[in-house]
Homo-oligomer: A and B are copies of this chain.
Amino acid sequence: MRASASADRGKRADARRNIEAIVEAATRLLAVDPDASVNEIAKAAGVGRVTLYGHFDSRTALMREVADRAIQQTDQALTGVDLGGDPRDALGRLLEVTWQLTHRFGALVVAASHTLPPEAMQRVHDKPAARVRTLLERGRDAGEFRGDVPIDWQLSVVQAILHGASTAVHRGEITAEAAPVLVRDTVLAALAA
């Protein structure tokens, strides 16, 4: 019994390691190529196709797990941002972290949007957008941001500039190092009262 229990634990540990390797490889590959295949992901994870399908019934199931983890990590990272004090400074801090997440998970979101239903995709954007909206409201009330244009428009501008920066980095037009400051300065200028 002891030997068999220990063998079971060994198997479970193996399975956990495989799952981690598969999810990690999928996150990495899909961030570069939204059309990366299950075969490519299995190869990059160092497991066989059969092992991969043993843990994930389909590419969609794997995609869902990758997206769930990305959402979880995004949430954790954003929760850590101090949104107090001057609204411009607070938005600057939030944009810096959001930029890193957009750039890391941006292509993943594109990949997921080919596979997951629109409701699931909406959830990816809703929580981060709610944080930015709260700050925009505070900055508008304080007279730091323009209050004479729809707040939804300002939210769209923030998202557009973040995604534009990610595209510009992928195209080699700006460096990933320069991006956060460019994003922050441009967004603050665009919103300024």
Residues of A within 8 A of B (CB): 149-150, 152-153, 155-157, 159-161, 163-165, 167-168, 173-174, 178, 182, 185-186, 189-192
Contact = CB atoms under 8 A, between A and B. Distances in A.
A173 B129 CA distance: 14
Contact of A160 (B149, B161, B189): B161
Contacts of A178: 150
Given A161-B161, A189-B189, A167 B156 contact: yes
Chain A interface mostly: helix
A156 B162 CA distance: 11
Contact of A156 (B157, B173, B192): B173
Contacts of A150: 173-174, 178, 182
A152 B173 CA distance: 6
B152 A174 contact: yes
A165 to B, nearest CB: 7
Determine how many copies of this chain the complex contains.
2
5 contacts: A149-B182, A153-B174, A156-B164, A156-B174, A160-B167
Contacts of A156: 164-165, 167-168, 173-174
A180 to B, nearest CB: 12
Of all A-B residue pairs in the complex, the 4 with the closest CB atoms, nearest first, are A160-B164, A152-B173, A160-B160, A190-B190
A36 B163 CA distance: 27
A173 B156 CA distance: 9
Contact of A157 (B149, B159, B161): B161
A96 to B, nearest CB: 16
Contacts of A189: 189-192
A88 to B, nearest CB: 14
A149 B160 CA distance: 18
A167 B164 CA distance: 14
